[in-house]
């Protein structure tokens, strides 16, 4: 079905926000193509009239009353943050000039 | 254990001390535990002792009101949140993370009064079938220390097989409870999708993940399932289906247990006995089915025609869901973060590149590709349609009146550490007998069915949705008819070696494999390689 090139692998790695080494990219090119070859078996099945299955138990939406429940205290939620500023997660700037945090 | 605890003949503290001592002594050679929490465990054991003493003073009704697991040691796979404790999911990216709350499973285990001894090793983010993909080194199989315990819940399975705990929690996305149970010679149950709340569990593939018990017999597995199962408002996918109290009352007597087999309709799917199945595994499974037939079960061959498409469709759906779930590891909210470049995208790439291991990266890449523009219909949508066909195969079996499907759990017995690490597809093939069950959302239990080449073989019983009680009764029936089989008396062959400080650890074995140096020490040259 597919023949992933090195450029494809680099593109997908960027979409997935994975920083990969040259060695990893080279190895993945071979491995991903080998795995994608296994997917080819699916093409032989006619599924035009088959609906997709996303969940297996037939649960309808379960609603609850809109009542405020206790939730995680802010300090607990921030306790694992690499950097915090007051009651906020500190993140690097993503807009303007490419400057750091 | 419950009877001794409630009679006051043994204290929970004494049980915890004895089990902790074994775990601490043998973990160097097994690497089954990533964390052993002695102080916390002893505090929980003392609390359980107080609960039991109070109930004894209050009388028989109060004692009967205690959960049978009150005071009993338990292990949790290291992706279950325990407030104030680690939850690495076997990954560098979660090293140092401290869980800010208890998972629902943890809360229910605490409510039952079980004593959490620690957290067990696993393939990173539960992706793998050998526990070799852990960032903290592989786990050894107590039956043969140079072999894998299976995965991804290999640490939990090894800890139960090694008598460090009588019960443990695992998770199963494509076989991660049943396959290690099979390879370690214990019982492992994957419940129906929706049976157990996943609140507070590190997610892998959300339409497939389920939490379930490990134990050394079906009765203990039923007790742990009873403790953790049931609707939870905090997990919208947990189903409002009643949890049967009969899980607490599987028959203790072998003859009574065996009588349940009479008249049960068992299906033998021919596709599960094809190419790739080791002859020794096929022989044990067929013998087990023949024994149940001799005890009165009615066995018939059936066909699950889309079985061969399971692997490909699973290895699209699971990576696709994982690529989405693992997008949360961005170095902002928690976990490892590399902010050395000061540039947002570059730091993002570095954080994830250094935080994830090879198998997780492979699956994120596969999933991202399968979901990317232009490929969604060809891969993800196609796989979801094939999933419908796989589920319909199973539905036809239940519609035909069968009580259960009998199959091998794993096509192989435990294989040598390192044997399948170079070829991802060879590792994926180990899930062929288990992953269709996740695709269809069904319950499945693996139970020991003897040995092949001195290593355990698992029999898998697959049931209709919500039929865990029936599956465990069947499992208990099989235990009843094989109670006096010679293999039942066998212990994990190389467990005694784990007391020997010269036995190499699995990490040392792995290093020697990589450098090509000959392995030395006990448990290294006992067996030839499996081709």
Q: For residue B240, how many other CB atoms are within 10 A of its CB?
A: 10
**Which pLDDT tens digit goes with each residue over B138-164?**
999 999 999 999 999 999 999 999 999
**Which pLDDT tens digit goes with each residue over B161-181?**
999 999 999 999 999 999 999
Establish if A67 touches chain B: CB-CB under 8 angstroms: no
Place of tokens 């379960």: A62
Chain A nearest-CA distance from B407, in A, is: 21
Contact B359, B133 (CB under 8 A): yes
Establish if B312 touches chain A: CB-CB under 8 angstroms: yes
Catalytic residue among B11, B12, B77, B91: B77
pLDDT at B514 over 90: no
Nearest to B15 by CA among B198, B165, B138: B165
Contact A42 B100 (CB under 8 A): no
- pLDDT score at B522: 55
B residues 90-119 lying closer than 8 A (beta carbon) to A: 97-98, 100-101
- Over range B236-256, report the average pLDDT: 96
Contact B14, B52 (CB under 8 A): no
Contact B135, B89 (CB under 8 A): no
- pLDDT score at B528: 40
**In the 8-state DSSP scheme, what is residue B455?**
E
- Over range B63-82, report the average pLDDT: 97
Contact A53 B424 (CB under 8 A): no
Report chain B residues whose CB lies below 8 A from the CB of A13.
365
Establish if B207 touches chain A: CB-CB under 8 angstroms: yes
Contact B424, A31 (CB under 8 A): yes
Sign of CA pseudo-dihedral B410, B412, B418, B423: negative
Q: Is B298 helix (H, G, I), strand (E, B) or coil?
A: strand
pLDDT at B354 over 70: yes
Q: What would the two tokens of residue A69 be? A: 């429940």
Nearest to B218 by CA among B166, B154, B176: B166
Contact A20 B193 (CB under 8 A): no
- pLDDT score at B250: 98
Chain B nearest-CA distance from A15, in A, is: 7
Q: How far is CA B188 from the centre of its chain?
A: 6
- pLDDT score at B518: 55
Cα separation, B247 vs B254, in Å, equals 17
Catalytic residue among B91, B103, B152, B197: B152
**Are β-strands B298-302 and B265-269 bridged in parallel, bridged antiparallel, or unpaired?**
parallel
- pLDDT grade for B352, boundaries at 50, 70 and 90: very high
Q: Is B155 helix (H, G, I), strand (E, B) or coil?
A: helix
B317 CB-side CA count, 13 A:
31
Q: HEC states along A14-26? A: HHCCCCCCHHHHH
Contact A54 B313 (CB under 8 A): no
- pLDDT score at B343: 87
**In the 8-state DSSP scheme, what is residue A50?**
P
SS3 content of chain B, % helix, strand, coil (to 5): 45, 15, 40
Chain A nearest-CA distance from B352, in A, is: 5
Residues facing B452 on adjacent strands: B455
Mark whether B119 is an active-site residue.
no
Mark whether B77 is an active-site residue.
yes
Distances in Å between the Cα of B412 and the Cα atoms of A61, B277, B443, B469, B531 are: 41, 6, 21, 27, 11
**Which pLDDT tens digit goes with each residue over B304-316?**
999 999 999 999 9
C-alpha angle B72/B151/B31, rounded to 5°?
65
Give Rg (Cα) of chain B: 22
Sign of CA pseudo-dihedral B251, B253, B259, B264: positive
**Share of residues in chain B with pLDDT > 90 (%):** 93
- Over range B72-93, report the average pLDDT: 98
Establish if B345 touches chain A: CB-CB under 8 angstroms: yes
Q: Which residues contact B440 (CB under 8 A, 6 or more apart)?
A: A56, B387, B390, B391, B394
Contact B369 A82 (CB under 8 A): no
**In the 8-state DSSP scheme, what is residue A91?**
-
Contact B174, B438 (CB under 8 A): yes
Mean pLDDT over all residues of chain B? 95
Place of tokens 């507070």: B200
- pLDDT score at B383: 97
- pLDDT score at A96: 63
Contact B240 A31 (CB under 8 A): no
CB-CB: which of A1, A18, A81 is closest to B378?
A1
Where does residue A3 rank: exposed (0-12), middle (13-18), buried (19+ CB within 10 A)? exposed
Contact A18 B97 (CB under 8 A): no
All domains of chain A in start order, with CATH: 6-44 (1.10.20)
Residues of chain A with pLDDT under 70: 1-2, 96-101
Residue of A nearest to B83 (CA): A76
Contact B386 A94 (CB under 8 A): no
Q: What would the two tokens of residue B66 be? A: 């205690």
Establish if A55 touches chain B: CB-CB under 8 angstroms: yes
Residue of B nearest to A73 (CA): B100
Establish if B353 touches chain A: CB-CB under 8 angstroms: yes
**DSSP string across B90-115:** T-GGGTT-B-SS--HHHHHHHHHT-E
Q: Is B445 helix (H, G, I), strand (E, B) or coil?
A: strand
Residue of B nearest to A88 (CA): B333
Q: For residue B248, how many other CB atoms are within 10 A of its CB?
A: 15
Chain A nearest-CA distance from B359, in A, is: 10
**Which pLDDT tens digit goes with each residue over B188-205?**
999 999 999 999 999 999
**Which pLDDT tens digit goes with each residue over B214-233?**
999 999 999 999 999 999 99
Cα separation, B521 vs B470, in Å, equals 45
Q: Phi/psi of residue B206, each to 5°?
A: -70, -20
**Are β-strands B73-77 and B115-120 bridged in parallel, bridged antiparallel, or unpaired?**
parallel
Q: Is B267 helix (H, G, I), strand (E, B) or coil?
A: strand
Cα separation, B312 vs B107, in Å, equals 37
Contact B132, B515 (CB under 8 A): no
Residues facing B210 on adjacent strands: B172
Q: Is B127 helix (H, G, I), strand (E, B) or coil?
A: coil
pTM given for the model: 0.95
pLDDT at B529 over 50: no
Domain boundaries, chain B: 6-60+68-250+263-308+388-483
Mark whether B176 is an active-site residue.
yes
Architecture of the domain delimited by B6-60+68-250+263-308+388-483? Alpha-Beta Complex (3.90)
Sign of CA pseudo-dihedral B206, B109, B118, B83: positive
SS3 content of chain A, % helix, strand, coil (to 5): 40, 5, 60
| E strand or H helix at B404 | strand B404-408
Where does residue B442 rank: exposed (0-12), middle (13-18), buried (19+ CB within 10 A)? buried
Nearest to B35 by CA among B151, B97, B99, B120: B120
CB-CB: which of B100, B331, B385 is closest to A79?
B100
Nearest to B409 by CA among B435, B433, B442: B433
């Amino acid at each position: 079905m597919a023949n992933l090139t090195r450029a494809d692998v680099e593109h997908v790695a960027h979409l997935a926000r994975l920083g990969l080494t040259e060695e990893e990219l080279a190895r993945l090119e071979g491995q991903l193509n080998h795995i994608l070859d296994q997917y080819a078996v699916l093409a032989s099945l006619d599924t035009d009239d088959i609906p997709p299955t996303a969940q297996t138990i037939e649960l309808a939406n379960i609603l609850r009353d809109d009542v405020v429940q206790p939730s995680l205290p802010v300090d607990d939620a921030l306790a694992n943050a690499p950097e915090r500023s007051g009651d906020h997660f500190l993140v690097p700037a993503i807009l303007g000039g490419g400057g750091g945090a | 254990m419950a009877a001794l605890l409630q009679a006051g003949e043994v204290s929970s503290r004494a049980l915890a001390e004895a089990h902790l001592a074994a775990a601490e002594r043998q973990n160097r050679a097994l690497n089954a535990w990533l964390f052993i929490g002695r102080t916390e465990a002893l505090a929980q054991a003392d609390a359980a002792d107080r609960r039991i003493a109070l109930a004894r003073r209050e009388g028989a009704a109060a004692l009967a009101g205690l959960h049978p697991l009150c005071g009993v040691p338990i292990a949790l796979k290291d992706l279950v949140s325990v407030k104030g404790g680690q939850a690495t999911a076997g990954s560098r990216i979660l090293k140092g993370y401290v869980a800010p709350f208890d998972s629902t499973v943890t809360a229910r285990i605490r409510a039952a009064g079980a004593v959490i001894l620690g957290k067990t090793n696993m393939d990173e983010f539960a992706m793998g079938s050998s526990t070799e993909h852990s960032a903290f080194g592989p786990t050894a199989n107590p039956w043969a220390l140079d072999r894998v315990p299976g995965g991804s819940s290999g640490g939990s399975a090894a800890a139960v097989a090694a008598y460090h705990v009588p019960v443990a929690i695992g998770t199963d996305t494509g076989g991660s409870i049943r396959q290690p149970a099979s390879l370690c010679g214990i019982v492992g149950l994957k419940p129906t999708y929706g049976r157990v709340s996943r609140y507070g569990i590190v997610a892998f593939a959300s339409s497939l993940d389920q939490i379930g018990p490990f134990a050394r017999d079906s009765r203990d597995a039923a007790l742990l399932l009873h403790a953790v199962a049931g609707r939870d408002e905090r997990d919208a996918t947990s189903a409002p289906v009643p949890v049967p109290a009969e899980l607490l009352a599987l028959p203790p007597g072998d003859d009574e247990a065996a009588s349940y087999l009479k008249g049960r309709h068992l299906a033998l799917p021919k596709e599960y006995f094809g190419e790739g199945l080791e002859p020794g595994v096929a022989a044990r499974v067929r013998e087990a089915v023949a024994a149940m037939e001799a005890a009165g079960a009615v066995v018939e061959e059936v066909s699950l025609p889309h079985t061969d498409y399971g692997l490909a469709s699973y290895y699209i759906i699971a990576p696709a869901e994982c690529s989405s779930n693992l997008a949360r590891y961005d170095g902002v909210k928690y976990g490892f973060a590399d902010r050395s470049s000061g540039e947002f995208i570059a730091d993002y790439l570095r954080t994830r590149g250094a935080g994830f291991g090879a198998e997780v990266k492979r699956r994120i890449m596969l999933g991202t590709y399968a979901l990317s523009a232009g490929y969604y219909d060809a891969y993800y949508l196609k796989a979801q349609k094939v999933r419908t066909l796989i589920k319909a195969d199973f539905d036809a079996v239940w519609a035909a009146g069968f009580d259960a499907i009998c199959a091998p759990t794993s096509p192989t017995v435990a294989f040598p550490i390192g044997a399948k690490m170079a070829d991802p597809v060879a590792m994926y093939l180990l899930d062929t007998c288990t992953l269709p069950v996740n695709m269809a959302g069904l319950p499945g239990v693996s139970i020991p069915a003897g040995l092949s080449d001195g290593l355990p073989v698992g029999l898998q019983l697959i049931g209709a949705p919500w039929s865990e009680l029936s599956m465990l009764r069947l499992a208990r029936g099989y235990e009843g008819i094989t109670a006096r089989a010679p293999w039942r008396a066998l212990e994990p062959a190389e467990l005694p070696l784990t007391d020997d400080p010269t036995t190499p650890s699995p990490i040392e074995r792995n290093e020697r494999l990589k450098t090509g140096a000959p392995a030395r020490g006990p448990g290294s040259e006992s067996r030839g390689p499996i081709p």
